[in-house]
Amino acid sequence: MVEFATKPKMARAMVEAALDAGVPCAYVLGDAVYGADSSLRRMLEAREQPYVLAVRGAHFMRRGGDRLFEETSPEELAGEFEPDDWVCYAAGEGAKGPRLYDWARIRRPWTSKGGFEHWLLVRRKRSTSGEKAYYLVFAPPGSSLAELAAVAGLRWAIEECFERAKDDLGLDHCEARSWHGWHRHMSLCMAALAFLSNLSADLRRSAWSKPNETSPKEPIAA
C-alpha cells in the first residue's frame, strides 16, 4: 500500500535518492510549498547541498543578531532595503530578450559548517507595481548576488518544460484511477518530453553550425 505523503515529503525522498545515486546538483530549486518546509531545508543543509527556495512574503522568520527572538517576515525585511541595495540582473532569457529584475539580499545570521551562507534573496519587478518575490538561500561561501539571481531565474526554464509537457503531450490529461495507471502516464509523458527536448537541441546545434548560405561569400566593394 502507498501511504499518503505531502509534496515536501515526496520531494525530500526524491532529492535524497538522487543525491545518494550521485546525480550532480549545483542547486535545488522549488516554489513556496517547498521553501516553507523546514525539514526539507534542514536535510539539504545537513548534506551541504545548496538551494534557492521561494517563500511567501508573510513567511515566519526570526530577525537574528541582537534581536534574535523578534518575529519578522521577508516582506518586512525587504522594506528596510535602501535604494542603492537593489541591483539589476537578468533572470534568464525570455521570449522578448533578457528578463530583467532588480535584486537585493540580506545575510541571515546563521552559521553552517563548511562556511555555507544563509541569505534572504528578494526579486523586484522593474515595472511600477514593484511586485516582489522572496527566496531562502543556502549557498557556498562567496556566492555573488548575480549568481544567486541567475540560479533563481532557472525556475523559469523548469516551468516552461512543464507547460510544454502539459500543452503538447497531455501531462495534465491523465484520467487514470490507479497508482500504476498514473505513473505509466507520467513516465511516458516525461520520456517523450526528454526525447523531444534532445531532438530540439540537436536541431538548433545543427542549424547554428551551418554557414549562412544567403550571405555573400566575398565582401562587396562600396
Q: 87 and 127 share a domain?
A: yes
pLDDT in tens, 38-74: 999 999 999 999 999 999 999 999 887 777 778 999 9
The CATH number of whichever domain residue 95 belongs to comes to: 3.90.350.10
Q: 69 and 147 share a domain?
A: yes
Place of cell 545537513: 46
pLDDT at 107 over 60: yes
Q: Would 39 be classed as within a structural domain?
A: yes
**What's the pTM?**
0.80
Alpha-carbon span 29 to 13, nearest angstrom = 15
Q: Would 158 be classed as within a structural domain?
A: no
CA atoms within 13 A on the CB side of 206: 6
Amino acid at 192: A
Q: 147 and 175 share a domain?
A: no
Q: 21 and 118 share a domain?
A: yes
- The whole-angstrom distance between residue 156's C-alpha and the CA centroid of its chain comes to 7
Q: 85 and 189 share a domain?
A: no
Q: 38 and 146 share a domain?
A: yes
Q: 144 and 67 share a domain?
A: yes
The domain in which residue 192 lies consists of: 170-203
Q: Looking at the 3D structure of the chain, how many domains does it have?
A: 2
Tell me what pLDDT residue 102 has: 96
pLDDT in tens, 6-28: 899 999 999 999 999 999 999 99
Q: 21 and 127 share a domain?
A: yes
